[in-house]
Amino acid sequence: HGSGSLSYHPDPKFADCTLRHNILTMSQAFAFQLPVGYATISALSSLDSTATSTIRRRLNLAVAASSMWLAASTAFASKFAFGYDLYTLKLKAIASGTHTANGLLALFAWRRSFSTDKMTVPICLSRVIRGTIGSLWDIGPSKPSNDPDSPELISNNNASIWGLCTAGLLWFTILPVVSPYPLATVPTILGKRLSRPASAFTFLGAVCAFCLKESTESKAEEDRISRLRKGLMIGSSLHLLLIMLKLIGVDGGGLIIPGRGLWEVYPAMLAVPFATASSIIVHALVCFAALL
């Protein structure tokens, strides 16, 4: 449903945007989201060993939270899109129902991963809250080192990078939700209509980065976990490519190609240069971490 809301612009100021601009914007809506979403589901479909049970549970909860956020942002679109409501009632019902079902399925899978039958609702809530708080405190590496050449600490140095990626993506998950326009459009650069709903995928990316940080520290990374690495690398690379194309000026002019397109059709991105640059750095760091 995201592509439909981006195929035209409801603001008369941008009503005459070219097909090229619409294609770039729709591509931005899929560049990070599809690879990360696919990598997460792909990893979940094959994580069945005891060694990866914690990661499997964490990913299931992340999918549940992301799905519920997407369901809410579809059902109450105007609340998430600065007053814009571009979905038909039928589309809202189908999309929000699908996201809700997906979220409930992920929660059910998380609940089924425990051998005990004593997982009541209060116990489940307590476990989620305690686990979330513990994970936030554990974003940093367990054994940080300032020596990049120490062989026995290489994995911890890599874990430090993944921890920084986690913190950056988590920050850019929260930023669009709590910030006014135009700051709310960073990091996805999807304008008022989809920047807040897209936080679901940024959060999913943050959880994937955290799983990779934990896996790196335990030195137990499997091929299944490496799917998260590949998904983050592909998603961040495509996201950066599209941002660079816009800055260069392929959409009517920019920093290199003559024209005023960059300033006319991407005013929100340029209005918050520090946040935009920080977002670029975080996604570039993800690509760097994925190559190590």
pLDDT, tens digit, 9 for 90 and up, residues 234-280? 999 999 999 999 999 999 899 999 999 899 889 889 999 999 999 99
Cα angle: 91, vertex 203, 192; to 5 degrees = 50
Residues in the chain, overall count: 292
Take residue 291 and report the two structure tokens written for it: 């190559």
* pTM across the whole model: 0.89
What's the rounded mean pLDDT across residues 222-241? 90
**First vs last C-alpha separation in the chain:** 36
| pLDDT surpassing 80 at residue 17 | no
Question: Lowest mean pLDDT: which of 75-84, 87-96, 213-222, 244-253?
Answer: 213-222
| pLDDT surpassing 90 at residue 81 | no
- Share the mean pLDDT of the chain: 86
Q: How far lies 258's CA from each of 49, 248, 251, 266, in Å?
A: 55, 9, 10, 15
What's the rounded mean pLDDT across residues 76-81? 88
What's the rounded mean pLDDT across residues 117-126? 82
What string of DSSP letters covers 150-216?
Answer: -GGGHHHHHHHHHHHHHHHHHHHHHHHHHSPTTGGGTTTT-HHHHTTTTHHHHHHHHHHHHHHHHHH
Confidence of residue 51 (pLDDT cuts 50, 70, 90): very low
Confidence of residue 141 (pLDDT cuts 50, 70, 90): confident
What's the rounded mean pLDDT across residues 35-64? 84
pLDDT, tens digit, 9 for 90 and up, residues 165-193? 999 999 999 999 999 998 999 988 888 88
